[in-house]
Copies of this chain bind each other. A is one copy, B any other.
Amino acid sequence: MPKPRIEFWYDFASTYSWLSAIRVEALTRNVDCDIAWRPFLLGPIFKAQGWTTSPFNLYPAKGRYMVRDIARIADARGLVFVMPDPFPANSLTAGRLAIAVGNDHIGDFTRRVYEVQFETGADISQRGTLEPILQAMGLDVTAMIAASETTAVKDTLRNNTAEAQSLGIFGAPTFVTADGELFWGDDRLEQACAWAHKAERA
């Protein structure tokens, strides 16, 4: 029987996606699921609902709560959360690079980008942040940067974002099961895995 597959939709600037990105691979392995890494951009989706920035900036009470909520969860998991400035980071380059590195490396790249951003506060819009990650992974930095600037890669990220919007995704992380169910938030990851198995058996 094939393993049930969960799509993990994320924007690199999303704090709650950090919490998922660093545990999703171990968790899905434990519960015998496959994972599809689906980077996209929240910006165009926010813009379509009239927002010019993250709701965490538009609604300061919500933003303050998010920082505290993330810090508490991180602490419970033995992590240290460092809020980057500016927030949200421009995640375009990171999103394109995630596609450029290919299926074999996207999980590792994604995790490293989130870690440097939310565990050390680095600005992931900067090449100076992203290039050392490619290098540490043993990838050809120049080739990867060049690939990330091709029309094919740009189109893939744009298409991902359009697909996210058409799926009804409005925030990140969102987990999508094969039968089209959406689960929004790191706190729904376990539920998404259980659902994927249930759908598989149905």
Could you tell me which A residues sit within 8 Å of B by CB distance?
49, 58-59, 61-62, 64-65, 68-69, 72, 168-171, 181-184, 187-188, 191, 195
User: Which residue of chain B has its CB nearest to the CB of A183?
Assistant: B69
| Chain A contact surface mostly | helix
Contact B59 A170 (CB under 8 A): yes
User: Which of B64, B72, B183, B184 is A168 in contact with, Cβ under 8 Å?
Assistant: B64
CA distance A167 to B72 in the complex (A): 18
Query: Pick the contact of A61 from B65, B168, B187 — CB < 8 Å?
Result: B168
Please determine whether B170 and A65 come into contact, CB atoms closer than 8 angstroms. Answer: yes
Selected from B58, B68, B187, the residue in CB contact (under 8 A) with A182 is B68
The answer to whether A170 touches B68, judged by C-beta atoms less than 8 angstroms apart, is no
A68→B69 CA distance, assembly (Å): 24
| Closest chain B CB from A65 CB (angstroms) | 6
With a cutoff of 8 Å between Cβ atoms, the chain B residues found around residue A188 in the complex are 69
For A167, the closest partner residue in chain B by CB is B61
Q: Are A61 and B181 in contact (CB under 8 A)?
A: no
